Every structure is written in structure tokens, then in C-alpha cells.
Amino acid sequence: MRRALVFAPLLASLLTLTACHTVTSVIRRDWRFDKPTIAVIEFENRAGMPMGWELGSGMAEVLTTALMETDRFHMVDRQNIDAILGELMLQHSDATREEQRAALGRIRNAQYLVRGTITDFSHTARGGIGVGWGAWRIGGGGSVARVSMVVQVLDVETSEILLSEPVGGHRYAASGDIDGMYGTVAFGGTAFYRTPLGRVTRKTIERSVDDIIDVIGRQRWQPRIARVDADGTVILNGGRNRHVREGTRYDVLELGEVIVDPATGDVLGREESRVIGRVEVTSVEERFARARVLGDGSEIEVGVRLDDPARPPRGGWVD
């Protein structure tokens, strides 16, 4: 009994933390992978508008937050791009002061767009008896909450659809007053994730994040030369944030020529890269590192990639 009394407050604390959690249950940050730049655009909603919720924009915002929590992507806003561009133009007009103006030409380009189509978002009585969103009350026998959507990842450069995956799930619930369950709940808030629809939404978003990571989030990060100095030193575009360490030696690579299919224009691959030099890290800062060039280094220039021969093969990493 004493052990139970001691354990009870701890269990209550854990349950409180779980209830307050929004979407992702596992943070998938990993310094080993490159961080592509993506934008989530408003979802198409084919499931109606229960409780006045704006599901199209709301689901896009929830997915954006979940992707940001993984720290595996650079996230850019395209839903509010008109407001951003308007503010930039205002700042560079005669109506505003020169101090603290944002520079033009610095908006990050998105490599990928993520969009979705919501096909089901409902909480109905079991046995196939539907409940209109205007009615909301159900009788006995239990109920089921369902969320279904299709998530797509599009390559901006080629417009190719890299992922088109249906995701979703359902959750059974006891019969009850759905008016009382959802009536004062805001979509995406803490209270929402305590409801059956909220729990299914969380799982659906988590599966979407996993699918997106599998498709565009597993490219191994390789440092690049950010600056070449006349004294034989170079600056790398990664530091402690990328676990770069003093004394590490990197091969400097000249990427092989791109091979293009003359019939379709598709990139078929590259010729094998050529090692054009070596560098050794001499000091490490938070987001960059300094290295000295070993040997000639006359072909080393800004933008070339580096490779650590001691790391796993270039075929990629597996979690």
C-alpha cells in the first residue's frame, strides 16, 4: 500500500505531462542528416467543417509544428507569403525609416512542398448510425472517431510527386454527450488532444511526419567549404551543431558530371566524385569550423563538398 501511495503522485505527473503534449511523442532530431527546406501549404478539406473548425489551415499548422519539432527540416511559410512580401515592400518604401530594414533577396527557397487532402474527420455512433455535426448527440452503444487524409510531398524543381500516402486511424469511445466533449474545444489546443478525435489526429500527424522523413529527411549531411582564405585555411559550414571535431580530416570532393536522360530530361545519376584535396579541422565554433588545407589545395573553392572517409558509406544512414 505504501508503495502504491508513493507511486501515485509520480503516475499523476506523468499523465499530466502526456495530456499536455500536443503531437509528436518522439523527437527525431539528428545532426547526421541534411536539413531540406520545406513549406506546408493549406490542406484541402473534403470532410466538412465540424464545430466551425478551419480544418484545411488548422491541419497544415499542426503538421508544420510537428515537423519543426523534429529539427530535421528548415521550415518556411508560404501560407502567409503575401503578408511577408507586403511588409518587405513597405520597409523598402519611402514611408519607413532605413534602420532595421530587412534585406531584399533573402527569403529562403523551398525545395519541397507538402500538401494534404482531408477525406474523413468524424465522430459517429458505432453500427453505422451517423451523427450530423449539427446534432452532435448520440445514444448508447459507443462511438468511433475517424481521421483520414492523403499527404503528398512535391519536388519544387521538377514538380514530381515524391510521396502520396493515405494515413489515418480510428479510436473507439464510450457513448456520451458529444456536445459536451467538443462544444467548447478549439482545434489543435491542449483540450482537443484529450478527445477521441484529437488522439486520432495526433497519431495521424505522427505517421505523416515519419513518412515525410523517410522520403526527404534521410540524406546524409556532408560539410561544405563556406570560405577560402589566402593563408591556406578554409571555413566549413558546420561546427559543434554538426559534431565536427578538431583533428578530423576530410577529403575534398569534386562532384562528378550529371548524367541526363536525353529522352526525358531526368537526372540518371552522376559520374564518380574525384578527390581534389584534404583539409584538417583546427578549431570548432557552434555553427562553423576552421580547417587548414593539406597539400596543394589549388582546386578547392567555395561550395565544394567534404567527406570523412571514417564515416559510413555514402549510400546513407539507417536509424
What is the predicted pLDDT for the residue at 23?
A: 52
Of 210 and 182, which is predicted with more confidence? 210
Mean pLDDT of 194-206: 94
pLDDT per residue as tens digits for the range 212-259:
999 999 999 999 999 999 898 999 999 999 999 999 999 999 888 989
Percent of the chain whose pLDDT exceeds 70: 81
Q: What's the pLDDT at 296?
A: 87
Determine contact, residues 259/271, Cβ cutoff 8 Å. yes
Q: What is the pTM of this model?
A: 0.80
Predicted pLDDT at 181:
75
208 touches 214 (CB < 8 A): no
Q: Which residue do the cell numbers 527557397 mark?
A: 109
- According to DSSP, the β-strands at 267-270 and 258-260 are antiparallel
Average of per-residue pLDDT across 116-126 = 88
Which domains does the chain carry?
A: 2-79+108-216 (3.40.50.10610), 225-307 (2.40.10.410)
Residue 106 half-sphere exposure, CB side, CA atoms within 13 Å? 6
Largest CA distance in the chain: 81
pLDDT at 128: 44
Q: How far apart are CA 39 and CA 26, in angstroms?
A: 22
Tell me the average pLDDT of the chain.
Answer: 84
Judged against a pLDDT cut of 90, whether residue 264 lies above it is answered with no
**Confidence band (pLDDT; 50, 70, 90) for 184?**
confident
Q: What is the pLDDT of residue 8?
A: 47
Cα distances from 30 to residues 67, 144, 220, 267, 317, in angstroms, run: 13, 37, 10, 28, 11
Residue 20 has pLDDT above 70, yes or no: no
- Residue where the block lists cell 482545434: 187
Nearest to 252 by CA among 277, 274, 272, 273: 277
**What tens digit of pLDDT does each residue of 297-315 get?**
889 999 999 998 776 544 4
Apex 94 CA angle, 90 and 98, nearest 5: 80
Share in percent of the chain as helix, strand, coil (round to 5): 25, 30, 45
Give the residues across from 289 on adjacent strands.
Answer: 236, 284
Which H or E run contains 279?
strand 274-284
- Tens-place pLDDT, residues 149-167: 999 999 999 999 999 999 9
